[in-house]
Homo-oligomer: A and B are copies of this chain.
């Protein structure tokens, strides 16, 4: 079996989770997440987030979570604002539209951002065409809202009803605390709830180049989720509404979406384990360490980075011929072609990646 850096969800669960599962397996539990393990996990999450009044729900996967949270946030005539590269806008097969809502994509302002995110990486002068490296900029968001509520009649348009950002983004990039604060302030000014997709939240929080903590996120957003699927769990996302969820009956909403797990305690058990002894943070840190090891190796070998990601996803530009070789020995994700001879690929480390894994990959690069 060849080594794979294709994604951060190739393996099962952290061994501690399997141990807990083995140990609890034959206990009889209440159904649908009404059990005491779920309660315990929720308490731990509320504590780590610094929001004792939060509502916490557990769901199975990211698309499901985005669909349900957005459906809870929006009125029927509202849409959700996102970067054009946002996961909900591109890679969820229309799950938001399936529940009746438009994704309102925002164009970045010209030349506003330094897409290289630092410039300390030799040879990295790439800019993503037409987007802010996966991020929604506060300036572009404000311009969008000002235009919408500006002179013309907007009653025939989809009203913005919430703002979606992902952190890390689909390009592995991160918001600074300043950027997140700016977006949060705009959202509050315009009375729009801010939703942060944290499918890879651990890898963002443990980046060596971030100044954003989980408490910042709980303070600055209205709802976010802590991804488990990609960070050590078999599956599962923990949705946190730091100041109460805006729904009186989340269970029928979740059920109606086909998302209410009968053995909901499985989700509770996994998050309980992840938030015991900082496991979530420790294993996230591992992915970051391995990504930095990988990045240094890539730069040493002269690879051009497509962009300078501070998290566990690394994007590099590879010669097509080289790529054919690589594909025989290691797994990666195709990202996009940039010219006839070169391709952008994604290499992702995760909670379980070892130094040996990276070294083996480097042999084929």
Contact = CB atoms under 8 A, between A and B. Distances in A.
A255 B95 contact: yes
Interface in A1-45: 1, 3-4, 6-7, 9-13, 15, 18, 21-22, 24-31
Interface string A327-344: 000010011110000000
A302 interface: no
A154 to B, nearest CB: 9
Contacts of A99: 98
Interface in A90-144: 90-95, 97-103, 107, 130
A51 interface: no
A252 B155 CA distance: 5
Interface string A269-296: 0000000000000000000000000000
| Residue of A66, A94, A97, A261 with most chain B CB atoms under a 10 A cut-off | A94
A234 interface: yes
Contacts of A61: 258, 260-262
Interface of A: 1, 3-4, 6-7, 9-13, 15, 18, 21-22, 24-31, 60-68, 71, 76-77, 79, 90-95, 97-103, 107, 130, 150-153, 155-159, 229-230, 234-235, 249, 251-253, 255-263, 266, 331, 334-337, 352
A98 B97 CA distance: 7
A256 B12 contact: no
B255 A92 contact: yes
A187 to B, nearest CB: 18
29 contacts: A1-B27, A7-B31, A9-B263, A10-B30, A11-B26, A12-B26, A26-B352, A63-B255, A63-B260, A65-B258, A66-B258, A68-B258, A93-B252, A93-B255, A93-B256, A94-B256, A97-B100, A97-B101, A97-B158, A100-B100, A152-B335, A152-B336, A155-B249, A156-B251, A159-B249, A229-B263, A230-B262, A235-B261, A257-B257
DSSP majority for the A interface? loop
Nearest to A28: B10
Given A6-B31, A21-B21, A94-B256, 11 more contacts: A1-B28, A22-B22, A66-B258, A76-B256, A77-B253, A92-B255, A93-B157, A93-B158, A93-B256, A97-B100, A258-B258
Contact of A257 (B9, B18, B258): B258
Given A18-B21, A29-B11, A156-B91, A234 B256 contact: no
Identical chains bound together, number: 4
A149 B335 CA distance: 14
A20 to B, nearest CB: 11
A176 to B, nearest CB: 28
Contacts of A256: 76-77, 92-95, 98
A10 B22 contact: no
Contacts of A93: 77, 155-158, 251-253, 255-256, 260
Nearest to A152: B334
B31 A12 contact: no
Given A77-B249, A157-B90, A98 B95 contact: no
Nearest to A253: B77
B259 A64 contact: yes
A191 to B, nearest CB: 11
